[in-house]
Amino acid sequence: MSYTLTTKSQVTLPKAIREHLKVAPGDAVDFRIVADGSVRVLPASLERRGADHVNKTALAKFRKLQGMGGHWGGSTDALMSLLRGYDQDVLDPGLATEPGPVPAARRKRK
């Protein structure tokens, strides 16, 4: 593969190379001169890309997941019972079946 430099000394990375490096438009790449005189193209390190790039990537992944679970609509206690079976564990001191003192672990802190 050979490519021609533009008048600004730029070259477009071929799609296969961009995919291999996992870089997209706007991402930073590093060029390293190897001892044998060749040049290596590497994706920039996270430190060089900066926290902004990492935050954008994380936010993009989060946005893809948003709304996938639907709306719960129940209470926190109902969700915890569903996930952890609190309502089925009669030996759980946090399970209040009758009115009485609330165990220390379930008291709200002020």
- Looking at the domain assignment, is residue 35 inside a domain? yes
- Looking at the domain assignment, is residue 71 inside a domain? no
Contacts (Cβ under 8 Å, ≥6 apart) of 40 = 31, 32, 34
What's the chain's average pLDDT?
77
For the whole model, what pTM was predicted?
0.40
- Looking at the domain assignment, is residue 103 inside a domain? no
Domain that includes residue 31, residue range: 11-46
- Looking at the domain assignment, is residue 30 inside a domain? yes
Domain count, the chain: 1
Tell me, what CATH number does 27's domain have? Answer: 2.10.260.10
Each residue's pLDDT tens digit, 29-42: 888 899 999 999 98
- Looking at the domain assignment, is residue 15 inside a domain? yes
- DSSP SS3 for 75: coil
- Looking at the domain assignment, is residue 22 inside a domain? yes
Each residue's pLDDT tens digit, 51-110: 666 677 778 888 888 877 777 788 888 887 788 776 666 666 666 555 555 555 555 565
- Looking at the domain assignment, is residue 20 inside a domain? yes
